[in-house]
Each structure stands twice: as structure tokens, then as C-alpha cells.
């Protein structure tokens, strides 16, 4: 183990103590209202953010703050990690955040939302492989935004533009963005050991398959009685545990419940909420899968890369739980319902 790796492992162990524990996350979810939620949150590492925001802060503003903490944690790790590992982590996390911003911008352009509204929902992350987000925000249409990306790693999404326009849907472009991201992560895996790659693939490949299945379900809604698009293999070139055959059957209208039953572990459990059209719970289940996979890796090796990956996954799970709780409090949902969309409270003693 190199001195650089030893140092970042020690740092991750120290920073883990700053994370919100499962018992506290449960208390946050079970708070009576937004005011009590903010009061409890002010006793955590988010104290400064809550103090600046005040009691009338929106869930959108809180989401930005929660993402900011995630980005700060990532920077503290990447800044001291060995070169190869840092390259992988930037590809895995910084590009993931950039991709989320690209999707939010393109969805906003597609729905003709005002530029300022789109901007409020962007993650406060710096540009990684894209063009400047402000330039993309200033584009008039989806096509204009796609053209701006023509000299970046995202240039291939232009090939999906015609299909997007034909079906009047943003999903073809999003599916291609997902593909570009996963390909970049897969390429960067050479920077870490073969044993550690296995753990990362358990997360990335399941996420890829689940995103493919969600896209297929969206395609069936927009194509209706039309035949599925030709050359599906070019739209979904990356499949692992959920084959192209299953994707095609979903698009053509096969019963979703039957598909879910035949998916096997871990897909069936993750995707099952889609039967009730609950995409939010599917995404919660994906975060839970990543959390469990990272925890298992850490049990195997708590003094190497798995410790680092587990810390960052825990940061992201914390961020996801807090975003869901804040949204639930703002919309006055029952705590019981909010808890369904959290991961950490299930691990409370």
C-alpha cells in the first residue's frame, strides 16, 4: 500500500465520523415539519448552511446545499488520492454530477422552462468534460444545446437527436448520455486494482441495466401502437444482467409485472416499484444497492480503496436521503411515507 493511499484511507476514516448516522437520519425523517427538520439538521455538519438559509428555505435550495457538501467531500478525497485513483474518482463522480446537470438542462429546454428555473435546479459542480453550463443555458433549443456539445466527449448524442424529434421525447438523448458516462467509467477502471474493479462494476452495471429498463418503459409510453425504434442495439449498446431482448419486450408492451418477476437478483427488488409507476422508489433502491455493495467491499478491505469508495458512496446516500426528506417536509408528507424513500434509517440500531 503506497503512502498516498494510506493517507487518503486515514482521512476517509476521520471524515466518516462527520457523516449523519442512521439514528439521526431517522430522527430527521420523523421530524414534525420543515422547521423541526431544519432545527435538527442545524445540529449536524450542515449547521453553517442552515444558519445562512433561515427557516423559509426551499427544498430546491437545500438540495444545492446538500450537493455542495458532497462535492466538498469528493474534493477532499481526490485532492490527496494517488494519481490513478483520483482519475477514476473524477470520472465516476464528477462526470456523474456533470451528466445530471446536462440532463437537467436538456429536460428544461425540451419542456421550454425559463432559463432561471433550470439554473436554480443545477448542481453546483464545475464543468468537467462539457462546455460551460451557462453557454448551454443560453441555448434556445435542445438541438442548439446538443450542437454546443459537438466538440466534447458528449458529441455522439447528436446521433440521437433525430430519434428524439421523431418521438417528441428526450429519452433517446438521455439514454445516449448514460452510455457515454458508463463507457468513460469503464475506461477509467484500469486505474484501480482488478479486485476493486469488481466492486465498482457491481454498482455501475446494475445502475446501467436499471436505467435501461426505465428508459424502455418510457419508450413504451411514447411509442404506444408504433413499432419499437429500429436498431435498438445502437440505442442500448451496454447491457449486463438485463438483456436487449428484455428491453425490446418492454418497449413492445410486455406486462411489466411479468418482466420484473423474471429479472432475478438484484434487479427484481430494485425495479419492482415501477409496477406502481414509482420511479423515485426505484432510484432509492439503486442507492441502497450501491450502499450495500460498498459496505461489503469495506468489510473485505477497510484499509484500501473499498474504504474510500464506501465513504464517497455514503456521502451520496446521505445527500439523497436529505434531499428526499427536505422535499417531503416541504410538501407536508407523513414521516412514514418519507421513510420509504430513505436508505440510512433502515440501519438504525
pLDDT for 224: 63
Q: Is the dihedral of CA 337, 208, 63, 297 positive or negative?
A: positive
| Number of residues assigned to the chain | 349
pLDDT for 276: 93
Cβ neighbours of residue 173 closer than 8 Å, sequence gap 6 or more? 106, 142, 146, 157, 160, 161, 164
Residue numbers of the chain with a pLDDT score lower than 50: 1-2
Each residue's pLDDT tens digit, 3-58: 589 999 999 999 999 999 999 999 999 999 999 999 999 999 998 877 666 667 89
Cβ neighbours of residue 23 closer than 8 Å, sequence gap 6 or more? 348, 349
Domain map (residue ranges) of the chain: 83-188
Q: How many CB atoms lie within 10 A of CB 337?
A: 11
pLDDT for 174: 92
Enter the pTM of the model.
Answer: 0.93
Each residue's pLDDT tens digit, 46-96: 988 776 666 678 999 999 999 999 999 999 999 999 999 999 999 999 999
Q: What cell does 72 get?
A: 466538498
pLDDT for 1: 45
Q: What cell does 80 get?
A: 490527496
Q: Helix 305-330 vs helix 3-16: angle between axes, to the nearest 10 degrees?
A: 30
Cβ neighbours of residue 320 closer than 8 Å, sequence gap 6 or more? 283, 284, 287, 343
Task: Report helix, strand and coil shares of the chain as percent, to nearest 5.
Answer: 75, 0, 25
Distance CA 205, CA 209 (A): 6
Q: Where is 264: in which H helix or E strand?
A: none
Amino acid at each position: 500500500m503506497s503512502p498516498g493511499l494510506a493517507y487518503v484511507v486515514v482521512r476517509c476514516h476521520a471524515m466518516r465520523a462527520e457523516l449523519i448516522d442512521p439514528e439521526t437520519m431517522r430522527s430527521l425523517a420523523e421530524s414534525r415539519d420543515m422547521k423541526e427538520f431544519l432545527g435538527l439538521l442545524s445540529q449536524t455538519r450542515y449547521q453553517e448552511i442552515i444558519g445562512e438559509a433561515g427557516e423559509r428555505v426551499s427544498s430546491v435550495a437545500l438540495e444545492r446545499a446538500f450537493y455542495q457538501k458532497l462535492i466538498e467531500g469528493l474534493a477532499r478525497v481526490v485532492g490527496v488520492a494517488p494519481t490513478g485513483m483520483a482519475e477514476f474518482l473524477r470520472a465516476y463522480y464528477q462526470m456523474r454530477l456533470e451528466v445530471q446537470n446536462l440532463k437537467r438542462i436538456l429536460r428544461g429546454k425540451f419542456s421550454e422552462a425559463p432559463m432561471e428555473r433550470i439554473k436554480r435546479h443545477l448542481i453546483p459542480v464545475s464543468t468537467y468534460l462539457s462546455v460551460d453550463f451557462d453557454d448551454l443555458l443560453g441555448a434556445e433549443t435542445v438541438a442548439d444545446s446538443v450542437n454546443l456539445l459537438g466538440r466534447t466527449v458528449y458529441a455522439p448524442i447528436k446521433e440521437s437527436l433525430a430519434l428524439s424529434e421523431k418521438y417528441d421525447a428526450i429519452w433517446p438523448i438521455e439514454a445516449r448520455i448514460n452510455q457515454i458516462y458508463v463507457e468513460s467509467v469503464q475506461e477509467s477502471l484500469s486505474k484501480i486494482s482488478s479486485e476493486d474493479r469488481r466492486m465498482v462494476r457491481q454498482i455501475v452495471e446494475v445502475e446501467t441495466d436499471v436505467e435501461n429498463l426505465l428508459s424502455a418503459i418510457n419508450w413504451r409510453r411514447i411509442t404506444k401502437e408504433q413499432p419499437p425504434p429500429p436498431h435498438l442495439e445502437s440505442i442500448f449498446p451496454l447491457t449486463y444482467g438485463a438483456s436487449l431482448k428484455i428491453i425490446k419486450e418492454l418497449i413492445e408492451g410486455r406486462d411489466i409485472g411479468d418482466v420484473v418477476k423474471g429479472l432475478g437478483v438484484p434487479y427484481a427488488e430494485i425495479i419492482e416499484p415501477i409496477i406502481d409507476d414509482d420511479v423515485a422508489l426505484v432510484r432509492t433502491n439503486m442507492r441502497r444497492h450501491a450502499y450495500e455493495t460498498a459496505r461489503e467491499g469495506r468489510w473485505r478491505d477497510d484499509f484500501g480503496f473499498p474504504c474510500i469508495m464506501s465513504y464517497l458512496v455514503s456521502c451520496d446516500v446521505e445527500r439523497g436521503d436529505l434531499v428526499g426528506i427536505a422535499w417531503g417536509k416541504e410538501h407536508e408528507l407523513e414521516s412514514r411515507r418519507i421513510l420509504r424513500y430513505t436508505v440510512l434509517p433502515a440501519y438504525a440500531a
